Structures are given as C-alpha cells and as structure tokens.
Amino acid sequence: MFGQVLFSGLALGSIYGLVALGFTVIFKATDVFNFAQGMFVVLGAYLAVTAISLLGLPFPLAILFLVIASALVGAVIHILLIQPLSGRPMLSVIMLTIALSIVLRSVIELTYGPQGRTLSTPLPMGVLVVGDVRMSYLHLWAALVSWLCMAIFGAFFRFTSVGLLMRATADGHEAAVVSGVNVNAMNRVAWGIGTTLAAIGGLFLGQLQIASPELETIGLLALPAVVIGGMQSIPGAIIGGLLVGVIEQMASAYISPKSSDIVIYLLLLVILMVRPWGLFGQRELGRV
Amino acid sequence: MNTNTSLSRGQAWQKWLWRLLAVAVLAYLPVVLTDRAAFGIALSNMQLLNLGLTQVNLMLIAMLGALSLNYLTGSAGLISIGHAAFYATGAMTAAITGSQLGWPFPLVLLSAAVSGALVGVLAGLPSLRVRGLYFVLSTLAVHHVIVYVFLEYQFKFFDVVGIPYAGAKLGGWELNTPIRWYFFLLALVVLVYAGFAASLRTREGRAMQAMRDHELAATSMGVDVRILRLKAFGLSSAVASVAGALFAYLLTNVTSEAFGITFAIQFIAMIIIGGMGSLPGALVGAAIWLLLPSIIGGLAPRSSEAVGLTRLFLVEGRAQFVQLIFGMLVIVLLIFAPRGITGLGRDIRQLLASWRGR
Amino acid sequence: MSAALEIEGLSVAYARKGLALQDVNLSVPKGGIVALLGANGAGKTTLIRAVTGLLDLHHGAVTAGQIRFGGQSMLGVPAHKRVRLGMGQVPEGRLVFKHLSVEDNLRVGADILPRGQLHEGLEAVYTLFPRLRERRQQAAGWMSGGEQQMLALGRAMIGRPQLLLVDELSLGLAPLIVKDIYKQLRVIGETLGTTMLVVEQNARLALEFAESAFILAGGRIAFSGTSAEIAASPAIQQSYLGGGAAQAAGEEAAQ
C-alpha cells in the first residue's frame, strides 16, 4: 500500500513540479506571483482536447500545437497585461493575475461548455506491476515527460545564450539593460516558458482525470509547492512539487480523500509561520 | 464676505436636498421593485434593469462584505484573498446557534459576530510573522481550512443538500418578505458604513491608514502596529461573518460550495472596481456586481429568437459572459484607473473644479 | 562627423524632483577622452542616464533637446538598443550580476559579438585584467569592489563599443586600485581608440586622465575646456569643483 501511494505521489508530484517550475520561471523573471498558473494548466488540457479530438492531429503534432499555442498565449499575456503594469505595486499585479484567471475560465467555458471533456491520447493505458505496486503507464509517462521537460529547461537555462540572458535579467534588471539585454523580450520568453510548462502539466492531468475548469484547483497546488520549496529557487519548485504530490496522496490514502488539499494548505500555513522562505529559498521576505 | 456665507448656505441647502432625495429614493425603491410600477405607472423589466428585490437584498449583503474587505485591505493595507471564509464562519455559527440550538435571531447574529472576530484574529496572526505576498498566501490557506471545516460540519450534522436556516425575526417582527429584509439590510449597511467611517476618524483609525503607507510613521504615533492589525482583522471579519449569517438566512439554505474561492475573488474584484481604500468604493463595486448580470440579462432576447454568438453570450453562457465582462472590467481598471471608479470620479470632479476655478 | 557624441540643448526632468538639467550642450570628438565634472547633485549621473537611455527606469524624461550618437538621434531608442549600437556602459555602482560567475558576466556583455569572436573577446578582457582570469568561475557578488569594477569595465568593453560611458568609477575604491584601473582605461583608449566620457567626482584624477572636461553646476554646463586649462586655473576649480580638489590640482599643475 505504502509503495503504491508513494508511486502515485511521486508521479503526480512530478507534474506539480513541472507546473511549479513554470511558475517560478515567471516569478524570477518578472516578480509576478501568477495566480493564473492554475488556469494555464486548464488551458493546456483544453488545447490538447482541441488538437486531438477537434482538429484530429496526430499525437506528435498535437504536442507541437500545444507547446506553440501556450507559449504564444503566455507571450501575448506578457505584452498586453504584464508589461504595462511593470513597476506597479505587487497587490495590483496579483489582482491582475486573479482577474486574468477569471477571464480565462469564462472564455474556456464559453468556448467548450462548462462540463468537462474527455481527453484521449495514444499514450498506453496498461499497468506495470512491480512487486505489489501497480504502476499505470499513464503515470509513468507523465512523470517521465515532466522530468524530461525539466531537464530540457535546465539545459536551456544553463547552456544557451538566451538562458544566460534570462538568468542575468533575473539577477538584476538594470544591470541587464546596461549590458544590452532586451529585458522585455527575455520576460516574454519567461512567460512563454511558464505557460507552456503549465500547459504540458495540464495535458497529463487532463488525461489522468478529465479536461475541465476544475483542474484549476489542482493546478493551484503549485502555489504551496513553490512556497514550501522556496520561492525563487528552481530546485525548490521541483522538490516542492514532489513533496506536495506525495503528501497529497498520503493524506488521501491514510486520512480521507477530501482532506488532501487541507493537509497541504495547513502545511503551507506552518511553513509561512516557521520558515517562510521555504526549504531552499533565501531570507528576503515578501514585498508589497 | 457676504457672498461667501450666502454661497455656503446655498451649498448646505443643496447637500440636504440631495440627502433627502436619496432617502426618498431608497425608501420608495422596494415598493417600485415589488409592484413593478412607480407612482402608478407600470414599468417594464427592461426599465427596472431586470432587478428584483431579492437581488437588491443580496447586493446589500455583498456591500457588507465589500465594506469589511475594503476596511481591511484599503485602509489597513492587509490583503485577504479568502474573505468568503468569514462568510462561511458566520453561516456555520448561525447553523449551530440558530438551526441546531434554536437561539433567537439577534443572538444568532451576535454569536456570528463574535465567532467571526475570533476567527479573524486567528487568521490575522500570520501577519505578525510575515508580510506582503506571504501574508496573502496565508489568507488563501486559511480560506481553504475554514471552508473545509464548514464542509465537514455540513456533512456531519446535516447532509449534502445543505444546511437549512429558518426563523429570522427581531422580537416579534419576522423577516419573511423581501421588503422587510430590504429595510433591515439597508439599515445595517448604513450602520456599518457609519461605523467604519467613524473608526477611521479616530486616532487609531488614522494610525491604521498611516500603517498602510508607512509602518514606522504609525509606530511613531504611539500605537502598536501589530495589535492594530489584529483589531482591524477582527472587526472586518466580524462584519463579514454577520453578513454570512444573513446570507444564509436570506437564502434559507447553503452548502459549502457557496463559499468557494471564486466567491472570495468576487469581493476583491468589487473593491478594485469601486476603488480600494474608499468606503463609497465598496458600495459602488457591490452595486456593479449586482447590476452587471441584470443588465446583461436584460439585453438577452428571448431564447427562441437568439442565434450564434448572441445566443452563446447572452443566453446559454450568460453566467460565464458576465464573469468575462467582470474580469475584463477589473483588468481594464487596474491598467488604466487603478483607483477604481470612485478614483475616476474624484479625478473628474477635480478636473471640473479646476475648470470652474478659472 | 568627427563627433562621436553630440548633445544639444538638452533639458531633463524627474517626475518628483523636477528639472535636473537645463539646456546642456556637450560634444565628444571621436577618439576623445572627456571628463564630466561637478559637485554632488550637479546632474552628472542624470546626463549619463539621458545618454544611455536609463532615464525612464528612474522616473525621468528628456523634456527638450537632442542627443546624437554617431550622427544618429538617440531619443526614443530603448536603452538596450543603444548598447547594441556601440555605447558601452559602466554604471554607477557597477551593477554586476552577483549570482553569475565572472565569465558568465562577460558572456552577457559579449552577446553583441558574433559567435566566433567570444573566445577572442574573453581573452582580451583577461589580458587586460589578469585578476578576472584568476576568478573566472567565481560568483561576481563575492569579489572585492575593485574586482567588480574591473568586471563591469570588462563587460562593457568586450562588445568593442565605439563610445564608453563610465559613471563614478572611483566611488568606494582604494586610490591605488583606482589608479590602476584608470591606467588600463588609458591603454584601452590608446590601443582601440575608444571614445570615452567619464563622470568622476575626484576632479584631480579626472583631469589627469582626460584630455578635456565639462563642468556641470546646478544642471547647466558651467565651463568647458582642456584639462590643462582647468588644472591651471584655481579660480575655476574653486567655483565649481570645491576647494580641496582645486588645491591639489593646482599644486600638480604648478609642478
């Protein structure tokens, strides 16, 4: 039983880690606490539905469609909403992302209807049995792809020149401008990446459950994950995601299914009171 | 000199005349909405902006919620995303003292206020430790916890259908018609508004506003900023809790789903639209929250006649369309008019005044 | 055009502080080394910000006048673009990327260069500042002030700018290190022919280093001339640069 719970916890946690990573990229680049990240997950699920069921694209093309479309959405959001509000107090920007999530939700519901849509992909459906742990292929694929994306992002961030410029921008805004970095373009890339990572998470969550606006609550678990892991820390986001996944599954199995969210939010409260900068973060406290 | 005094007397007359007019309108409004006619002339649905008295009552309750949130956020500088949780607190307290223990209505409301204040202070405790973004997150966590408690309570003592509320009466006067609710709630809104406004004028109130802008300045005024914050939270949550109890009694039945994060966010949207930190702004925001769906509903042609996008937006997806407009309104205001509608109003008045001055 | 940088009738105001520069005229000839002097608050940094395009980051704006770089008007050109057009910047406070390594810092600056020239560029900087080579993998935030200044300079130079703008190089640094850095700057000027505009509070150092200077006072150009002229005139120095520097410079000139 324990092994089973641990497995699903780690698998789901990998997806949460991916979404949390996207969140952190956005936060590091533009200092925006993106409450709409949950809706980006939903967006991903619906983009997948569109590509596969409505447009009938073959799976690899559908993935490409998902990545490009979500990156575009992220970039457009940055141009229209985030750039104009740069320099405004953090409260305003938080409200903006909350309002954005409202708008996204209503657009999605108007386009696809408020009920969920099933998402069917050619990913294998069977189960791999190891000892007394049943590992569904879907979970395995979700975890694998999440880790692959994280690795790709890590390599991009570390080894490419755009990644270097993004790291520089996160390090110091004015310093980057002075060095000739097009900071607005870098932030746009960050938003595109953040949205895409969430959308990929939505692809898997949508298939593990169903593509519906309710996925937002699951996507929002990235927020406590990021805080627990440490807000501006990339490894923190990933580990936070894994922790949240494991804790969620443990609570669901050993306490009750309804309690899983609460346990996480209680943990969030504890962390905020005891060690607000999270496990891997640095001590600078929140601004507003 | 003479002209000045006669002018100010004239202005004083003007002010009182406007106030009298407002009172008259407010008093006659419920009659108009119930009879669907004014002074004997029948009014169409469209002319009445598709409003019913029940919706106005819901708006009045929302005003209580918005006022309390604005008091907390705009004046004291504390941001709470989970405001709906205090509604839930009040509803749950009312369920215990009213539906289960059968206490008289005024005591039920009082118990809601007390429990709201207590929970509010507890919810405000993280502010002693963290600030800014982290505090906002703590309010989100608190929201989830409280709604969960409500959910567990609902399922333990009642059932999935919801918790029933009955017996709203003050002494012998029973709140069993929308008109009676209207006057009761209106009186409450006026009372709460006046109370908050007065509180902001006291030394502590001014310190709180200073606290919003600069903590050191407030401390130099000789007030303990941390205690002040908790007091603000307690007062704000008490009012919201009473609003939640009233909400439950007005609807006569609530479930935990009524208090989701979406509902909490509506309040934030209200105060942004109306104007943060301004008490009139809270009223404006709540009014718009009420009017928007009504107006859009009024625009909807009969369902059989609607086609295409109109059908989608105004008939089938009307609720979503309202949310869409609401969200976009918040975004537009945040970008172009960060002080909300009352801020815009102030700017326009200043502009007019400077023209007149020339 | 023999002028690398031309400023005509420039006025600049800040949102909250009001007018900071009024009707400033200044030109720097190609290959020239010019100092910008003046007391604190005279507007030196504001002028540099106007040239580099960093005004709006600090809530300021050009209210009148023109700035021409290589004959091209710079008004409305975003700051990062100006860097890519050949304006290297060493800002006040150095502004190195604290969490990035020395080499990564330089690579950011080298982004302007075509791919093949990165290695060459790095080598050039390391030859100029051997201490940076020693510390190439270290995080920049841990280095001393002098090393950070060298890094900021290297980052600006690696892209081979035509114009180098240096703001308050000597602030917070030991005199020996400052002398050393100015020596290297001289070398750069002589070998590469880079035009330089240097803001410097230490008037004596500046006059030693530069060929000519502009003196700002109260947001206006109070005086301009060759370094020799300024150094030889105690009156000018007394009025605009403050007594101490004047005395020292006067003594130097008398020798």
**pLDDT, tens digit, 9 for 90 and up, residues C84-118:** 999 999 998 889 999 999 999 999 999 988 888 89
What digits encode the pLDDT tens for the residues C185-236? 888 888 888 999 999 888 888 888 888 999 888 888 888 888 888 888 887 7
Q: Return mean pLDDT, chain A.
A: 89
Q: Report the share of chain A in percent with pLDDT over 70.
A: 98
Minimal CA separation from C79 to chain A, in Å:
6
Shortest Cα distance, chain A CAs vs residue C220, angstroms: 25
Average pLDDT of every residue of chain C: 86
Compute the nearest-CA separation of A100 from chain C (Å): 27
Closest residue of chain B to A82, computed from CA coordinates: B335
Query: Of A168, A177, A182, which is closest to C97 when you measure between CB atoms?
Result: A168
Chain C and chain B touch, per 3+ beta carbon pairs within 8 A: no
Contact C215, C223 (CB under 8 A): yes
> Do C89 and A161 make contact, defined as CB atoms within 8 angstroms?
no
Best residue of A167, A173, A177 to probe chain C, by most C CBs closer than 10 Å? A177
% chain B with pLDDT above 70: 84
- Which residue in this structure is represented by tokens 């700057």? C185
Domain with CATH 1.10.3470 in chain B: 49-357
Largest Cα–Cα separation, chain C: 53
Question: Dihedral through CA B214, CA B215, CA B220, CA B223, nearest 10?
Answer: 130
Predicted confidence (pLDDT) at residue B13 exceeds the cutoff of 90: no
Asked if C111 lies within 8 A of A183 by C-beta distance, the reply is no
Is the pLDDT assigned to residue A174 strictly greater than 50?
Answer: yes
Interface chains of chain B (3 or more CB pairs under 8 Å): A
- Looking at chain C from residue 37 to 56, which residues have their Cβ under 8 Å from any Cβ of chain A? 52, 54
CB contact A87 to C (< 8 Å): no
Token representation of residue B288: 């718009």
Q: What is the pLDDT of residue A4?
A: 87
Confidence of residue A40 (pLDDT cuts 50, 70, 90): very high
**Would you call B133 and A90 a contact, using CB atoms and an 8 Å cutoff?**
yes
What fold does the segment set B49-357 form as a domain? ABC transporter involved in vitamin B12 uptake, BtuC (1.10.3470)
Which of A86, A110, A264 to mutate to probe the B interface, most B CBs <10 Å?
Answer: A110
Predicted local distance difference test score (pLDDT) of residue A75: 95
Percent of chain A with pLDDT over 90: 51
CA distance A139 to A128: 10
Environment class of residue A152 by beta-carbon count within 10 Å: exposed (0-12), middle (13-18) or buried (19+)? exposed
Predicted structure pTM score: 0.86
Q: Which residues of A touch B126 (CB under 8 A)?
A: 269, 272-273
Q: How far is C86 from chain A (nearest CA, A)?
A: 10
Lowest mean pLDDT among B106-120, B126-140, C62-76: B126-140
Looking at per-residue pLDDT, the higher value among A16 and B16 belongs to A16
Residues of B in contact with A217 (CB under 8 A): 261
Residue A242, min C-alpha distance to chain B (Å)? 19
Is C95 at the interface with chain A, CB within 8 A? yes
Say if residues B146 and B119 touch (Cβ distance below 8 Å). Answer: yes
- Chain A residues touching residue C108 (CB < 8 angstroms): 164-165, 168, 176, 179, 181
pLDDT over threshold 50, residue C57? yes
- In this prediction, residue B174 carries a pLDDT of 79
A272, A275, A282, A283: best mutation site toward chain B, by most B Cβ within 10 Å?
A: A272
**pLDDT, position C246:** 45
The C residues from 158 to 177 touching A (CB cutoff 8 Å) are 159
Residues in CB range of B194: below 8 A, 6 or more apart: none
Q: Is C107 on the interface with A (CB under 8 A)?
A: yes
Query: B11 exposed, middle or buried (CB, 10 Å; 0-12, 13-18, 19+)?
Result: exposed
pLDDT of A248: 92
Domains with residue ranges and CATH for chain C:
3-254 (3.40.50.300)
ipTM value:
0.86
Which residues of A fall within a CB distance of 8 Å from C52? 178
- Chain C partners of A182 at a C-beta cutoff of 8 Å? 78, 80-81
Q: Mean pLDDT of all residues in chain B?
A: 80
CB A179 to CB C100 under 8 A?
A: no
Residue C196's SS3 state is strand
B284 vs B70: CA distance, rounded Å: 12
> Are residues A99 and A69 in contact, defined by beta-carbon separation less than 8 angstroms?
no
Q: How far is CA C159 from CA A103, B125, B315, C86, C127, in A?
A: 45, 53, 61, 8, 15
Residue C200 DSSP SS3: coil
At A214-224, the pLDDT tens digits run 888 888 899 99
pLDDT of residue A91: 76
CB contact under 8 A, A92 and B334: yes
Q: Do C80 and A180 touch (CB under 8 A)?
A: yes
The band of B310, judged by pLDDT with boundaries at 50, 70 and 90, is: low
Q: A178: distance to nearest CA of chain C, Å?
A: 6
Task: Check CB contact under 8 Å for A106 and B327.
Answer: yes
Residue C253 has pLDDT above 60, yes or no: no
Subunit contact B131:A272, Cβ cutoff 8 A: no
Residue in B126, B145, B148 nearest the CB of A272: B126
Q: How many CB pairs under 8 A join A and B?
A: 128
Using CB atoms, pick whichever of A161, A174, A180 lies closest to residue C57. Answer: A174
Angle among Cα A251, B121, B187 to the nearest 5 degrees reads 115
pLDDT in tens, B180-225: 888 888 889 989 998 888 888 887 777 777 766 665 665 666 567 7
Write out the DSSP string of A7-33: HHHHHHHHHHHHHHHHHHHHHHHH---
* A interface residues, B as partner, C-beta within 8 Å: 33, 81, 84-85, 88, 90-92, 94-96, 98-100, 102-103, 105-107, 109-110, 114, 217, 223-224, 227, 258-259, 261-262, 265-266, 268-269, 272-273, 276, 285-288
Q: What is the mean pLDDT of residues A166-194?
A: 93
Q: How far is B337 from chain A (nearest CA, A)?
A: 11
Nearest to B321 among A99, A110, A223 (CB): A110
B130: nearest CB among A88, A102, A285:
A285
Nearest CA in chain B to A269: B138
**For residues B211 and B78, is the Cβ–Cβ distance under 8 A?**
no
Among chain C residues, the shortest Cα distance to A170 is held by: C97
Using CA coordinates, name the residue in chain B closest to A278. Answer: B134
Do the beta carbons of residue B111 and residue B170 sit within 8 Å? no
pLDDT for A127? 84
Model confidence at C149: pLDDT above 90: yes
Burial of A165 (0-12, 13-18, 19+ CB in 10 A): buried
Q: Which residues of A touch B125 (CB under 8 A)?
A: 273
> How confident is the model at residue A287, as a pLDDT?
35
On the CB side of C239, CA atoms within 13 Å amount to 11
Which of A167, A178, A183 faces C100 most closely, judged by CB atoms?
A167
Q: Chains A vs C: touching, with 3+ CB pairs under 8 Å?
A: yes
Q: Does B141 touch chain A (CB under 8 A)?
A: yes
> Residue B1: its pLDDT value, please?
45
